[in-house]
Amino acid sequence: MGQTNELAHRMAGKTIKFVDASGNPVAGEEIEIKQANHKFLFGCGIFDAIDVANKNVPADRLAFQEAKLDKFLDVFNAATLPFYWGTFEPEKGKPRTKELKAAAQWLKERNIAVKGHPLCWHTLTAPWLLDMNNEEILKAQFARIEREAADFNGLIDMWDVINEVVIMPIFDKCDNGITRISKDLGRIGIIKEMFAKTREYNPDATLLLNDFNTSINYEILIDGCLNAGIQIDAIGIQSHQHQGYWGREKLEEVLKRFSHFGLPIHFTENTLTSGHLMPPEIEDLNDYQLSEWPSTPEFEERQAKEVEEMYSILFKHPLVGAITTWSFSDDGAWLGAPAGFIRKDNSSKPAYEVLKKLIKDDWCTNITSKTDDNGMVAFEGFLGDYDLLCGGKKVSFRLEKNAETEQFVI
């Protein structure tokens, strides 16, 4: 483990003492310590969980989706589910709460931390807001947050509360209710209101501000929020790189600027494709629509290298707490881009294998050892959940910073 020093912030040491029923140390006992989960969140957008949990697609499609999710579950421990207002509640008063609850529950049962995305955004918001005046829109937005934050409390305890506020009041691609109210409230005003409302209905949730803008616009906005007393639990940074990998220099520069606040940083929407690059002149990624955007062997190698470098840089940075790759699979990927870790036929790309090795091997702790004369085993491992196997018994524990010696009776 040559990386030990660079990753010291991701690790902790722990001493475990094994005693028998009478409290006497058990020496020379073989034990196994296996990391079952990471504290760090390795996530994907995994909207497919809705199909699988609700079984609401034809059998062959369901089998395909299940196979896809199996590959996801093999590597990742976090998922983002869609709460775009326009698709979550296309008809006013008929939200897809039941379906989304089933999906969140399905993921939770498989030990996946779930984030909802987003509670407030101008794009993909409910079109029926346009029939309301601004006072009514704000009221409806509050009611929507109350409902989702309360309904999913315990299932979803992490929310992208509000998305892309830098451009929200000047967004002019199409008229929408959220841009309208953001003009009234101002950027910091609308963030303040939406955070307060979400916090009210899920006080323990991790609440994010999220943006694709990584310029000083976003820095100044965050500075403004913090000075206005808004508690941001994590800074969300989108990094859709359809037009080419940022590279180490830009990535480290962005990290440096956003580290200034001392807050956790989540890379919320990461994309590195295994296809040709989107031309640089495209400003709004949504404007680039192709009938076919193939994944090629050459570009799959490039993607694997980029994934390895980018995840390594982020995992090394002490403030980064999560990386979510936006499209787990090319099947259903945003913009039809070959943005997934797996191909349209569910086969693994090199990036999948590279990342699996990092997450499940290089950054994972699995130890076999023997208790010493005092019945003790000391080890150092990556933070997270562990299974301890000893004499046919299994116990679980969590490895955190500044862990104390624990005693197990065997």
Binding residue for a copy of itself, selected from 150, 216, 282, 378, defined by CB under 8 A:
216
| Cβ(41)–Cβ(402) below 8 Å | no
What Å distances lie between residue 233 and 47, 179, 210, CA to CA? 24, 24, 11
User: Residue holding tokens 């090394």?
Assistant: 316
- Rule CB under 8 A: say whether 130 interacts with a copy of itself: no
> Under 8 Å CB-to-CB from 111, ≥6 apart: which residues?
36, 37, 77
Identify which range of 4-12, 19-27, 105-113, 187-195 contacts a copy of itself by CB under 8 A.
Answer: 187-195
For the bound state, the minimum distance from the C-beta of residue 276 to a copy of itself, rounded and expressed in Å, comes to 31
How far is Cα of residue 350 from the mean position of the Cα atoms in its chain? 21
Binding residue for a copy of itself, selected from 27, 67, 130, 228, defined by CB under 8 A:
228
**Residue placing its CB nearer to a copy of itself in the complex, 52 or 225:** 225
| Cβ(80)–Cβ(42) below 8 Å | no
- Rule CB under 8 A: say whether 196 interacts with a copy of itself: no
Structure tokens at 227: 């000075």
Identify which range of 7-15, 87-95, 181-189, 338-346 contacts a copy of itself by CB under 8 A.
Answer: 181-189
**Residue placing its CB nearer to a copy of itself in the complex, 257 or 344:** 257
**Residue placing its CB nearer to a copy of itself in the complex, 98 or 260:** 260
Binding residue for a copy of itself, selected from 25, 86, 90, 186, defined by CB under 8 A:
186
For the bound state, the minimum distance from the C-beta of residue 224 to a copy of itself, rounded and expressed in Å, comes to 2
Binding residues for a copy of itself, how many (CB under 8 A)? 20
How many Å apart are CA 245 and CA 280, to the nearest integer?
Answer: 12
Site string for a copy of itself, 150-179 (x = CB under 8 A): ----------------x---x---------
- Rule CB under 8 A: say whether 221 interacts with a copy of itself: yes
**Residue placing its CB nearer to a copy of itself in the complex, 222 or 351:** 222
Tell me the residue type at 369.
Answer: S
Identify which range of 91-99, 183-191, 373-381, 397-405 contacts a copy of itself by CB under 8 A.
Answer: 183-191
Q: Identify residues 231-270 at the interface with a copy of itself (CB under 8 A).
A: 260
Identify which range of 32-40, 223-231, 316-324, 378-386 contacts a copy of itself by CB under 8 A.
Answer: 223-231
List the one residue out of 259, 384, 260, 361 whose CA is nearest residue 320. Answer: 259
Binding residue for a copy of itself, selected from 13, 154, 189, 244, defined by CB under 8 A:
189
Site string for a copy of itself, 6-45 (x = CB under 8 A): ----------------------------------------
What region, left, alpha or beta, does residue 247 occupy, with left being phi > 0 and alpha being psi -120 to 50 degrees?
left
- Rule CB under 8 A: say whether 187 interacts with a copy of itself: yes
Binding residue for a copy of itself, selected from 3, 105, 153, 217, defined by CB under 8 A:
217
Identify which range of 29-37, 182-190, 265-273, 305-313 contacts a copy of itself by CB under 8 A.
Answer: 182-190
How many Å apart are CA 76 and CA 144, to the nearest integer?
Answer: 30
**Residue placing its CB nearer to a copy of itself in the complex, 215 or 368:** 215
**Residue placing its CB nearer to a copy of itself in the complex, 50 or 265:** 265
Binding residue for a copy of itself, selected from 29, 99, 146, 223, defined by CB under 8 A:
223
For the bound state, the minimum distance from the C-beta of residue 374 to a copy of itself, rounded and expressed in Å, comes to 49
- Rule CB under 8 A: say whether 349 interacts with a copy of itself: no
- Which residues here bind a copy of itself, judged by CB under 8 A? 166, 170, 183, 186-189, 192, 215-217, 220-221, 223-228, 260
